[in-house]
């Protein structure tokens, strides 16, 4: 059976997207923009309700984009999983976190696969977008889908197409980032190309799901390893009394053979802190330790502790101890100008400071509240950032360099700043008040 046999002479395929989070929602909007009919499915009833009202629940996606999509009449969101049977393509955008021992947790993928198998129709295309280790699509997802009684590659089509979302990126969007697709069969590749060409400008086809799966993890491992390298250099430069940011600026003047990466307080988000562990777990099945990748993970995981050590030293230099000091964290999101706190190093820094006896608050214009920390049962909320409030703290730590912060104003009204992002570079008064970490 050909995928095009399902299209009923329609110009655009219909798409069901399971999971309307940071990956699924922007993808759904691009399919609508491309003229497709979209059924958005999420187990959280709040998301379909808000979309139906034309309201956004992600800070980097304006409500006007959602409202405009709803006005076209081409998107409908629901919690009813059976609605997927009416679509030509089913795209799975569910989380793939790590377990307690940092092993891959595929429970969301497995459970969603079982849901899809109950409603799978002949000729449909099923695409997994969730980042995972090579072999997941073929070895884990396909057998579950075939519980429907249909045969993958014959009765329906299966592909893997890794998400490449970068929330808050003003340069690259869902539509302009090239889309990798790797299917079980050439017919599946053709189907995936046809579908995604409605939502993205460029579709890049590879020979198999495994190539696409490993390509995504390679992208993020590349970043994790290089960030670990510059984080280690930062710690060495700190001991030497050298400014690592100036070193990076100097090295960047070389027009070849060098790509700048920048240090920070640790890795955050769903991809870079997590994906390399999926690869190392899979590598162990082949009897191969991935020492380079695992070392990078150790270095990046240790960065919040390094930041706390700089805070401790800076307070000591001012005859103060961490115990009893009032500390304000600026930025709780894992990256600038978004509201995503997954794996944020800010929370790790907060927990370590609380454990040392500090009084810790935070301000983040994008994150109004956070869940309980390990060290306290209170649920912290973002404090108002005013001249009077800022001056009350013994130390402010810049964890997330949101573009809306007035850093000169922050320097003017703070007694001590620990800057993990070089946000205060070149500002008046920074030499006396700012310590880089």
Please identify every residue annotated as catalytic: 271
DSSP-assigned states of every residue in 14-25: -EEEE--STTHH
Q: Which residues contact 348 (CB under 8 A, 6 or more apart)?
A: 266, 304
Alpha-carbon gap, residue 23 to 7, rounded angstroms: 25
CA distances, 214 to each of 161, 183, 315, 382, 397 (Å): 11, 14, 45, 39, 37
Q: Which residues contact 277 (CB under 8 A, 6 or more apart)?
A: 98, 102, 103, 104, 297
DSSP-assigned states of every residue in 243-294: -HHHHHHHHTTSSSS-------S---SSSTTTHHHHHHHHHHHTT---HHHH
CA distances, 213 to each of 140, 159, 217, 220, 233 (Å): 13, 10, 7, 11, 31
User: Are 406 and 385 in contact, with CB atoms under 8 Å apart?
Assistant: no
Alpha-carbon gap, residue 176 to 193, rounded angstroms: 15
């Amino acid at each position: 059976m050909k995928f095009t046999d399902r299209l009923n002479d329609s110009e655009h395929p219909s798409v069901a997207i399971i999971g309307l989070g940071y990956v699924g929602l922007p993808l759904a909007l691009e399919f609508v923009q491309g003229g497709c009919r979209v059924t958005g499915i999420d187990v959280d009833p709040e998301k379909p309700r808000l979309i139906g009202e034309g309201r956004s629940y992600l800070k980097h996606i304006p409500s006007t984009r959602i409202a405009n999509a709803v006005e076209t009449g081409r998107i409908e969101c629901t919690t009813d999983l059976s609605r997927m049977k009416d679509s030509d393509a089913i795209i799975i955008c569910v989380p793939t976190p790590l377990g307690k021992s940092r092993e891959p947790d595929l429970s969301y993928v497995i459970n969603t696969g079982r849901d899809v198998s109950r409603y799978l129709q002949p000729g449909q295309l099923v695409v997994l977008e969730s980042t995972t280790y090579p072999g997941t699509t073929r070895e884990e997802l396909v057998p579950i889908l075939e519980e429907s009684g249909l045969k993958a590659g014959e009765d329906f089509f299966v592909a893997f197409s890794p998400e490449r979302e970068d929330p808050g990126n003003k340069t690259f969007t869902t539509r302009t980032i090239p889309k990798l697709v790797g299917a079980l069969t050439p017919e599946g590749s053709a189907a995936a190309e046809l579908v995604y060409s409605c939502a993205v400008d460029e579709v890049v086809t590879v020979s198999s799901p495994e190539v696409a799966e490993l390509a995504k993890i390679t992208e993020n491992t590349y970043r994790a390893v290089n960030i670990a390298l510059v984080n280690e250099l930062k710690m060495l430069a700190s001991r030497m009394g050298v400014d690592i940011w100036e070193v990076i600026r100097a090295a960047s003047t070389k027009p070849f053979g060098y790509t700048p990466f920048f240090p920070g307080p640790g890795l955050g988000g769903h991809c870079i802190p997590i994906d390399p562990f999926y690869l190392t777990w899979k590598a162990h099945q082949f009897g191969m330790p991935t020492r380079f990748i695992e070392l990078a993970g150790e270095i990046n995981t240790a960065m919040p502790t390094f930041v706390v050590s700089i805070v401790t030293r800076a307070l000591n230099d001012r005859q103060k101890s961490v115990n009893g000091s009032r500390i304000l964290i600026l930025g709780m999101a894992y990256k600038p100008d978004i509201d995503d706190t997954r794996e944020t190093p800010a929370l790790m820094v907060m927990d370590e400071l609380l454990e040392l006896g500090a009084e810790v608050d935070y301000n983040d214009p994008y994150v109004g509240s956070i869940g309980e920390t390990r060290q306290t049962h209170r649920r912290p909320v973002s404090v108002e950032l005013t001249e009077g409030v800022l001056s009350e703290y013994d130390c402010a730590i810049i964890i997330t360099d949101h573009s809306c912060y007035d850093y000169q104003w922050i320097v003017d009204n703070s007694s001590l700043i620990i800057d993990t992002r070089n946000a205060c570079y070149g500002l008046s008064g920074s030499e006396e008040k700012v310590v880089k970490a």
